[in-house]
Every structure is written in C-alpha cells, then in structure tokens.
Amino acid sequence: MSEAEKVKIILKTLNKIYPKPPIPLKHRNTFTLLISVLLSAQCTDVNVNNVTKNIYPKYNRPEHFVSLGRKKIERLIKSIGIFRVKAKSVYNLSKTLVEKYKGKVPKSFEELEALPGVGHKTASVVMAQGFGHPSFPVDTHIHRLAQRWGLTSGKNVIQTEKDLKRVFPIKYWNKLHLQIIFYGREYCKARECYGISCKICTTCYPSRKKPIITKKA
C-alpha cells in the first residue's frame, strides 16, 4: 500500500470517529491553555484538569500567578508530577509575560519557545489550539502511532513532526493532531494494539502478524 493510500485511510477513519475533536485540556483563555500544556508534561490531561478546575476560576492571568509566588503555586499544583519544577516555570513564565509582553501570550513560535519551561511541543499546541496557527504538535504517543502506521522512521519527535507535515496537507494539521491523540487513547493503545489490532493498523497492514516495535522518542 502506498503512502498516499495510507494517508487517505487514516484521514477517512479519524474524520468518521472524531469529526469535531475537543481540546482535552480545559482552559479559560490562551494563558491558561499555555499553563495547562506546561503542567501536562509527564502527567495525564485528566489529572491536570482536576487540579486546574479549582485554580482557573480565581487565578487565570499572569499577574495572578506572579502575586501568588512560587510556594503558593506549588501548593496549588502539588498533586501533579514534578510540581516544584513546574511551579518554578509557571512563576517565571508569568513574570516574563507581565514584564515583557504586558500580560499577553506572544503569537510566534520563537517568542513562545523562549519563555521559561516552554519547549517546541508546548509552543506548537498553543499556536494550534490557542491561535489557530497551523502546527503539528508531536508527543511520544503520536510518535508511536506514526511509526506503527508507517508514516515515519524518525527516531525522535522532531523528525516525526517533519514527516507528518510532509504527508498530510497543512489544512488538516491542527485537527489531526487531536484526532490522533484520541484514537491512540481509545483504539491504538501502547500496550494493546501493538500495530496489529486497531482498524487503521489492520487496514494499512493486513498481512502484518508480529507486533511492531516502536522506537522511543
């Protein structure tokens, strides 16, 4: 099966199951989206949402978190993994936004990635979900699925992102990122599908018998 045929199958399947995929991280504005994405590193979206539902009604602007200070931020997010490191990033990030950007989240990759605690993946999510700018955030789960589906041979998320942007038209990127995340959680799970049981894997690779070994990002 050609790459183009696989892409067509993937798009058709995902659009049928997830015609309008929601943004999984609950937020009130672009700033709280940025904070939630930062907090989601090595943590589930569900856990982040459970914590932030008690924070965002009261604290939802950079100025609020600067006033809180690191120690109070730590107490607010202590049930989230590596909370001390994240609290430091949230505080420094908020301080930078207040001092340099008048409390506004910048709208470019370069400026976002220069913020404390913000990497390329976080910046990509904010650009896509916060500003509607075409981007293709790739985490370890999307990296794994892209390998199973034969769309990349990349050994890291950077190469996988380049490969996915090459094979899928730009108009699908933002929606497709979310669709793949939901599909991976529901159908092509890390420890269940192994590349041989979900609809996309079996349709694209009907003769595949052995579980595919994916390379960690």
Question: Active-site residue numbers?
Answer: 121, 139
Contact 196, 209 (CB under 8 A): yes
Cα–Cα distances in angstroms (integers) from residue 212 to residues 124, 138, 152, 209, in the given order? 28, 20, 13, 9
Contact 198, 187 (CB under 8 A): yes
Name, in order, each residue with C-beta under 8 angstroms of 29's C-beta and a sequence gap of 6 or more: 60, 61
What φ, ψ does residue 28 adopt, rounded to 5°?
A: -105, -25
Which residue in the block uniquely carries the two structure tokens 């976080």? 122
- Cβ neighbour number for residue 198 with a 10 Å cutoff: 22
